[in-house]
Amino acid sequence: MQPVFLELNRPFPSPNNALDDPNGLLAIGADLSPRRLIAAYDNGIFPWFSDDQPVLWWSPNPRIGLDLSLHTVNKSMQKFMRKTSLQVSVNRDFSQVIKRCAALRTDETWINSDMIKAYIALHQLGRAHSVEVWKNDELVGGLYGVLVGKVFCGESMFHTETNASKLAFHSFCHHFKQHGGVYIDGQVENPHLISLGMQAIERENFLDLLCKHKDDQVNINCWHQQEIF
């Protein structure tokens, strides 16, 4: 089986048609328009490619994520969250968060200029969101992702201050759950996501969960920091 080559108006194939090797590669081509990105995330698909590649679309099996009913914070992080003077916000500066995520990655970044423009456009439509961590007025950590109903599909995170990305993640988990969110998708397993409590999930189960909740409405813009600490 080969990945599908997408013309601009061709819909995505079923995620169940994705390759086993490389794990999850489903389709090649098309563009990063808001319409295409929304269709991708609504169907459990995401783009991931390097500058020297065409747009590659993925839906791995298994993938990784966090059922928010199982979200916990370890004792050392709880202590840090109680005592820190760092401030947390939502959607205060999406563009800077995604740019910092791109700039501070140590591997060959996949968050190129086209991706940055595409997700900023998605943010302006209310589908992509950011969490910021501030030290006074300096951005020292954060994350961003795409909201699909009651599921938040995390894309990337960064920190320049110890524990800042963990603070962004755990604060957002609490906030999202309080406002009706049920699941945070981490896409591809890595040690950092495992350390945050994420677990592997079969693609079929993830797609079922996404289908169940993608048409629900969650307003995550109503942020009050006292909800967290």
Q: What is the DSSP string of 8-24?
A: TTPPPPPGGG--TTTTT
Indicate whether 88 and 183 sit together in one domain: yes
Residues 53 and 163 in one domain: no
Looking at the fold, whether 169 and 138 belong to one and the same domain comes out as yes
Query: Residues 35, 73: one domain?
Result: no
Indicate if 127 and 222 belong to the same structural domain. Answer: yes
Which pTM was predicted?
0.93
Mean pLDDT computed over every residue of the chain: 92
The pLDDT of residue 162? 95
pLDDT for 217 equals 87
Task: State the average pLDDT over residues 208-223.
Answer: 88
Domain extent, residue 30, equals 4-60
Split into its structural domains, the chain has a count of 2
CATH of the domain at 16: 3.30.70.3550
Same domain, 133 and 39: no
What stretch of H or E contains 195? helix 191-195
Q: What percent of the chain has pLDDT over 90?
A: 84
- pLDDT given at position 209: 97
Pair 12, 86 in one domain: no
Residues 26 and 139 both lie in one domain: no
Tell me the mean pLDDT in the region 80-107: 90
Tokens of residue 76, six digits: 């050392």
Domain boundary among 13, 29, 60: 60
pLDDT at 86 over 80: yes
Please write the tens of the pLDDT for every residue from 144-196.
999 999 999 999 999 999 999 999 999 999 999 999 999 999 999 999 999 99
Angle at CA of residue 154, ends 181 and 141, nearest 5°: 105
What's 130's domain CATH number?
A: 3.40.630.70
User: Is the confidence at residue 229, as pLDDT, over 60?
Assistant: no
Domain identity same for 115 and 218: yes
Residue 20 has pLDDT above 50, yes or no: yes
| Cα first-last separation, the chain | 50
> 218 and 184: one domain?
yes
Same domain as 21, residue 76:
no
> Using CA atoms, how far apart are residues 184 and 95, in angstroms rounded to an integer?
21
